Structure 1
Amino acid sequence: MGSTRKRIALFLPTLAGGGVERGMVSLAQGFAERGYSVDLVLSKAEGPYLSKVPRKVRLVDLRASRVLTSLPGLVRYLKQTRPAVMLSAAEHTNVVALWARRLSKVPTRVIVNVCTTVSQNFQRTSLIRERCLPFFAYCFYPWADEIVAVSYGVADDLSRFIGLSRQRIRVIYDPVVTPSLLSLAHAPLDHSWFSPENSPVILGVGRLTVEKDFPTLVRAFACIRARRPVRLVILGEGRERSRIELLIRELGVDSDVSLPGFVANPYAYMARAAVFVLSSIWEGLPGVVIEAMACGTPVVCTNCPSGPAEILENGKYGRLVPTENVDALAEAISSTLDTRSNPEFLRQRASVFTVENSLDQYLKLFRV
């Protein structure tokens, strides 16, 4: 048990509906259950996961319009509260956390978590602020007490791309599999497509953003749908929704595709899907793949940087295909639909990525 006098802070922009936010809430709950005082510090307290913050965790709202403008508030928080350690996640947030510790002149240990493949973000964005991030990481990440990557692929990429010593980067997998996941997987699901007598359902889950590349999944689905009865459900919300909806109409598959948006319990969908598909161009460690495996659902993934090959052990636990390849994805999905799966085999692999494993490794790093 940790001492209640030891305070752990977790710093995020918001609690938007993504894997990073879900993971940080799980860590906050886990640290609190082990007896630590925990603050979840947000640039702005908004997002669907606010309702998931446990009562034992103190929510600190810096009331800023963006991450950068939360710097003064974070400095004040550090001076007043002086937590033993602060964990931040996501690139902009990490830089602000390091600046705040330097300006506040407190002895708080700062751990930065790198959760995406930095080189891919740089190469595929036209936003100036995004293209500046590798430079900021090169300049300021050395200020961190510890640098954590969510996968070995992310760690290797970060080291190569910004010239950081690989020995400085530790790998801790995200806290994906929670004690409540299986109970939520068996919760009732109010969606008629998932009844046993209906056509099999292909499932995708994630923010509707460019890097998730759902258009490739939609095109692959259209190829499969031309040959057999099947349906597609994509859970998530994002700025690419209108583009995806237009493509669905153009391909003439709108009667067999459903985009329900963000849902509080995706596990009930995962447990009932015939196959889960990740179509991303790049990732860090795609937790949705692990969650689907924990539900016993077969998976098909693009072999994108980084994470899928690590999770699936280079194809041992599910098919891997090249990114942005419609034909290869369609073939892999069809083959998976035609192959009898072993749910327990998948669950066993998913058990590596539990909250308890992540908590143990972070607490060793925190030295609290």
Structure 2
Amino acid sequence: MRILQLINRPQNRGAEIFTCQLSEHLKVLGKEVQVVAVYKGKATLPYEGEIISLNASSTYRFLDLKGWKKLAKIIKSFQPDVVQANAGDTLKYAVFSKFFFGWEAPILFRNASEVGRYLSSTFQKRYNKFLYSNVDHVASVSGASEKDLIGHFPFLTGKTEVIPIGIEKKENLPVKLRPTSAKHIVHVGGFSFEKNHKGLLRIFALLKKKEHHVHLHLVGDGPLKEQIEVEVKKMGLESYVSFYGFVNNPLSFIKAADVLVLPSIIEGLPGVILEAMFCKTPVVAYNVGGISEVVNDKTGILIEKNKEEEFSEAVVKSLSQANNSQINEAYNMVVSQFMNKEIALKFVNSYRKIVPEKE
């Protein structure tokens, strides 16, 4: 079986990293894989093969005949049994390339968020309806993501299933977080509005009133990073907040943390929570998207969105005394249900639903 994996660009974001990890596991299972990026990018992703770029321009993504044609040429050369579009603009390029240039491979879309949160106009709804009407199957990252998708596009009923994100089984030595006398709170995620860094700073300010010896570590990069750096200075928190940008070893930061926090306002199923559970680091998160499918009173602390005072109190509680029962329950859940080796088998079963495997 041949699978063409379409990603937005080589960037250190969950969708692209997971797609490349999945691709490596698919190759171990004997599948042929080609990864294609819509846009150029500089990141080194966990994929040992060549990543072909369409070199498309986001300015013309709604009418990029040249890019659609280039993708069609790659597909006709590689002859995939399935084209998997993985978040971002990948679905646009897959659907329009197939529509205008007539290749036959079925399209599987990996739905990694809650698409309804981004449909703010009639045009967007109609446009996305056209895209999804040309999809053969959808793999949603969580039950919440699947429910949201079917709620907006009921015609997808019977063409979707839930396949969660997975993580890699690897050992990471913790980094040395400073100051050594502080309790360490870690957040890992791109600086985008979905991750709610401003809300996180407000929570941290509340937390400091209750627990003085704490330090916040922000791991990740993104378009809002400079804005958040300015906000930290405005709030007088420079001595208590550290920025690291992108790091190759986020699990090492998570493992060194006393607690991982995720006050996102939009999520599908964030891999960073699973990584924290694998590292046996306590988790405090907002109840958005599919987070409640992995974080509950047995595995972590779940707070309703925008309850910043409650969030800060939950972090204090976690810092004062780690709940070993929750930590062990969360670890066992991840090891048994969310490792990429097993997730890859779920994707293979999905491919077989829309195309018979060639012998």
Q: Which amino acid aligns with 1:268?
A: S
Alignment partner, residue 310 of structure 1: 293
1:136 Cα deviation from its structure 2 partner: 2.5
Q: Deviations over 1:312-338 (max 9, x none)?
A: 1x4321111122232121111111112
Matched-pair contact (CA < 8 Å) for 2:8–2:88:
no
Q: Indicate the larger mover: 132-141 or 344-353.
A: 132-141
The answer to whether residue 159 in structure 2 is matched with residue 168 in structure 1 is yes
Say if 1:113 and 1:134 are closer, same or farther in 2 by CA, change over 3 A.
farther
SS of residue in 1 equivalent to 2:41: coil
Summarize deviations over 1:52-92 as a string: whole Å, max 9, x none: 221xx332222222355332211111122211111111153
Higher mean Cα deviation, 218-227 or 230-239? 218-227
What does residue range 330-341 of structure 1 map to in structure 2 within 5 Å? 330-341=312-323
Aligned-pair CA distance for 1:190: 5.3
Deviation at 1:13, TM superposition (A): 1.7
| 1:146 has 2:137 as partner | yes
The question of 1:192 aligning with 2:178 is answered yes
Q: Could you say which residue in structure 2 is the equivalent of 1:86?
A: 83
Q: Report the TM-score when normalising by structure 1.
A: 0.88
Distance across 2 between alignment mates of 1:346 and 1:45: 37
Which residue identity is paired with 1:62?
L
Q: Who is 2:55 aligned against? A: 63
Residue 108 of structure 1 deviates from its aligned partner by: 1.4
Check 1:46–1:338 CA distance in 2 against 1; reply closer, same or farther (3 A cut): same
Flag the 1:147–1:344 CA change in 2: closer, same or farther, 3 A.
Answer: same
SS in 1 for 2:155: coil
- 1:3 aligns with none
Provide Cα deviations, 1:287-309, integer angstroms capped at 9, x if missing partner. 111111111000000011x1110
Q: Say whether the 8 Å CA contact 2:214–2:240 is kept in structure 1.
A: yes
Give the deviation of 1:47 after TM superposition: 3.4
Residue 110 of structure 1, CA deviation: 1.3
- Does the CA-based 8 Å contact 1:205-1:236 persist in structure 2? yes
What's the Cα RMSD here? 1.9
CA distance in 1, matches of 2:96, 2:161: 21
Equivalent residue letter for 2:55: R
Shift of 1:132: 4.5
Cα distance in 2 for residues equivalent to 1:210 and 1:279: 11
Structure 1 match to 2:202 = 219
- One-letter amino acid matched to 1:366: Y
Do the aligned residues in 2 keep the contact of 1:213 with 1:324 (CA within 8 Å)? no
- Choose which of 257, 270, 273 in structure 1 pairs with 2:257: 273
The answer as to 2:168 corresponding to 1:178 is yes
Q: Is the 8 A contact 2:184 2:217 kept in 1?
A: yes
Change (3 A) 1:149 1:133: farther
Residue equivalent to 1:357: 342
TM-score, normalisation: structure 2: 0.90
SS at match of 1:53: coil
My pick for the range that moved more, 358-367 or 97-106, is 97-106
**Aligned 8 A contact 1:10 1:87 in 2:** yes
Q: Distance in 2 between matches of 1:8 and 1:274?
A: 40
> Could you tell me how far apart the structure 2 residues matched to 1:308 and 1:267 are?
19
CA distance in 2, matches of 1:364, 1:114: 17
CA distance in 2, matches of 1:7, 1:165: 25
- Paired letter, 2:194: E
* Deviation of 1:155 (Å): 0.5
For the pair 1:74 / 2:89, whether they are aligned, the reply is no
1:178 maps to a residue whose letter is: E
| Letter of the 1:267 counterpart | L
- For 1:82 and 1:105, the matched residues in 2 are separated by 13
Matched residue SS, 1:234: strand
Gaps of 5+ in 1: 1-5
Alpha-carbon contact 1:202-1:274 (below 8 Å) kept: yes
Mark the CA change 1:112 to 1:286 in structure 2 (over 3 Å): closer, same or farther: same
Return the match for 1:134 from 125, 131, 147. Answer: 125
**Partner-residue secondary structure (3-state), 1:192:** coil
Q: Equivalent residue of 1:167, what SS?
A: coil
* Counterpart position of 1:294: 278
Structure 2 runs not aligned, ≥5 long = none
Number of equivalences: 344
**What is the deviation of 1:189?**
2.2
* Superimposed CA distance per residue, residues 108-138 of structure 1 (whole angstroms, 9 cap, x where no aligned partner): 1211111111122235xxxx8xx74432221
Q: Does the 8 Å contact 2:260/2:284 carry over to 1?
A: yes
- What is the one-letter code of the residue matched to 2:115? V
How far apart, in 2, do the equivalents of 1:213 and 1:102 lie?
Answer: 37
